[in-house]
Amino acid sequence: MSLRLAVLAFASIFVLQPVAAETYSSEQNDFRLVELADDLERPWGMAFLPDGGMLITEQAGQLRLYRDGRLSDPIPGIPEAEERGQGGLLDVAVDPDYAETGWIYLSLSGQGEGGLGTQVWRGRLEDGRWTDSEILFDMKDKTRAGRHFGSRFAFDSESRLYFSIGDRGAMDRAQDPADEAGRIHRIERDGTVPSDNPYLGDAGTPPTAYTRGNRNAQGMARHPDTGVIWIHEHGPRGGDEVNVIRAGANYGWPEVTHGIDYSGAVISERESGPGVEDPVHVWVPSIAPSGMAFYSGAAFPEWQGDLFVGALRSRLLVRLELDGEQVIGEERLLEDEVGRIRDVRVGPDGFVYLLTDSNDGRLLRLEPAS
C-alpha cells in the first residue's frame, strides 16, 4: 500500500462532528470558533499532512490522526515517551518532501542513563502503524528533572530541521559551552550535522547547536517572507521573550533577563548586555507562551504577516503585528474563553487551529465570521 493510501485508510474510526460555533470580534477580522474534537489527552503539537489529514500528539504518549471529522485511535508503534512533569510526547512535524519521503518527526522526553532528555525521532505511517523508526538526536546529559524539554520544530528554506531544548530547570546549563541544554539545534533531516553549523570545530561544543542562552522555547516558526526562524521562550517570573534566531547568537539566559526567580529573588540585574541578542518582544508579567505561527493564508487578509502565539498561564491567543522584525501592535483574543492554549498552527485552508492543554483537550478552528 502506498503512503498516501495508508494514511487515507487509517483515518477511519471515530466520527466527531463540529459543534455550533461562537462568533468573536477582533480589531481587524471577526471570526467564528469551531470545536472539531474535545477528548484529546493533553494535546501538545499538530502537523498537517498533504492529503488534508492532521497529526496530533498527546503528552501522555499517543499520536492521533484527525481527518474529515474523524479522530483515530492512538497510532501503534511510536517511540516510547516518558511522561514526567512537562515531559512526554511533544512536537510533531511533517517532512517538507513528505509526498516523496513519507517521513514524520517526533520530539519527546526519552529515558537513558541519568534520567530523561529530549530526543528527536523520525518514522513513517504504513497500514496504520508507525514504521521505519529511527532516532536522530538523543540528549547526552540526562537528568531526573521534569522541566524545560523545549521540543518545538521548524524547517528552514533548505529543509534543515531546527528544534529547541530548554535548560532542563538548571539555568547555568544554558551558558555552558559543552552542554546541549538551553539551545536551538539544527540538523539535516537524516540526523547528520550541517557543514555550516556555527559551532563546528569548537572543541567540546555540541556540533548540532545553533544558538545558546535560551531558557525554554516552546514556540518556533519560519517567517513566510524572509525564511528566518523565530522562537518564543518562557521567562521565569516575567520576561517571556520573542526572539529572531541567528547562527551562533547568545540569547543571554540567565546572565540577562527581564524576569525574576519564582521565589522573588533577582536572577540578574541586567536586561541586556554586550554580545547578547535582544528580544524583539517581552511579556512582563508572563503569559507562558506555547505554540506560534505566522499568518500567511487567504481566509483572514487583514492578518497577513501577523504572528500568533498561544498562552498557557494567561489562557489566551495573542496576535502580534509586525513591521520587519519589530512588534508594533498586540491584540489579545479569546481571553479566558477556551483555557490554556498549547499550540497554534495555520492550516493549508488559511484557518487558524488551536490545541488546548487539559485532560480533555480540544482541537479548535478559527474561521471568518462571514
Number of Cα atoms under 13 Å in the Cβ half of residue 214: 35
Mean pLDDT of 101-125: 98
CA atoms within 13 A on the CB side of 64: 27
Distance CA 368, CA 36 (A): 16
| pLDDT above 90 for 4 | no
Q: What confidence tens digit (pLDDT) does each residue in 313-344 have?
A: 999 999 999 999 999 999 999 999 999 999 99
- Smallest CA-to-CA distance from 68 within 32, 130, 23, 14 is with 14
pLDDT at 13 over 60: no
Given a cut of 70, whether residue 5 has pLDDT beyond it is: no
What does the alpha-carbon distance between residue 183 and residue 80 come to, in Å, rounded to a whole number? 24
Percent of the chain with pLDDT over 70: 95
pLDDT tens figures, 168-212: 999 999 999 999 999 999 999 999 999 999 999 899 999 999 999
Segment 73-91 mean pLDDT: 98
Please identify which residue in the block is written with the cell numbers 536586561: 271
The mean per-residue pLDDT over the stretch 275-296 comes to 98
Mean pLDDT score of the chain, rounded to an integer?
94
Instruction: Work out whether strand 229-233 and strand 43-48 pair parallel, antiparallel, or are unpaired.
Output: unpaired
Whether residue 267 is predicted with pLDDT greater than 50 in this model: the reply is yes
3-state secondary structure the chain: CCHHHHHHHHCCCEECCCCCCEEECCCCCCEEEEEEEEEECCEEEEEECCCCCEEEEECCCEEEEEECCEECCCCCCCCCCCCCCCCCEEEEEECCCHHHHCCEEEEEEEEECCEEEEEEEEEEEECCEEEEEEEEEECCCCECCCCCCCCCEEECCCCCEEEEECCCCCHHHHHCCCCCCCEEEEECCCCCCCCCCCCCCCCCCCCCECCECCCCEEEEEECCCCCCEEEEECCCECCEEEEECCCCCECCCCCCCCCECCCCCCCCCCCCCCCCCCCCEEECCCCCEEEEEECCCCCCHHHCCCEEEEECCCCEEEEEEEECCEEEEEEEECCCCCCCEEEEEECCCCCEEEEECCCCEEEEEEEECC
Dihedrals φ, ψ of 197, to 5°? -60, 140
Give the domains, in start order, of the chain with CATH numbers. 3-368 (2.120.10.30)
Task: Give me the pLDDT at residue 30, please.
Answer: 94
* pLDDT of res. 20: 55
Span 145-151, average pLDDT = 98
Long-range contacts (CB closer than 8 Å, 24 or more residues apart) made by 23-27: 23/369, 24/333, 24/334, 24/337, 26/319, 26/331, 26/333, 27/331
Residue 354 has pLDDT above 50, yes or no: yes
Do 325 and 25 contact (CB within 8 A), yes or no?
A: no
Per-residue pLDDT tens over the stretch 203-251:
999 999 999 999 999 999 999 999 999 999 999 999 999 999 999 999 9
pLDDT tops 90 at residue 7: no
Q: Residue 18 pLDDT > 60, yes or no? A: no
**Average pLDDT score over residue span 121-143:** 97
Amino acid letter, residue 299: A
Q: Is the pLDDT of residue 264 over 50?
A: yes
Q: What is the per-residue pLDDT for 21? A: 83
Taking the C-alpha atoms of residue 70 and residue 72, their distance in angstroms, rounded to an integer, is: 6
**pLDDT surpassing 90 at residue 64:** yes
**Residues 137 and 164 sit within 8 Å (Cβ to Cβ):** no
> Which tens digit of pLDDT belongs to each residue from 37-47?
999 999 999 99
What is the pLDDT at residue 2? 39
Q: Among 8-12, 131-135, 281-285, where is mean pLDDT lowest?
A: 8-12
Question: Catalytic residue numbers?
Answer: 148
Cell numbers 499517543: residue: 62
Q: What's the confidence (pLDDT) of residue 134? A: 98
Query: Which pLDDT does position 370 carry in this prediction?
Result: 83
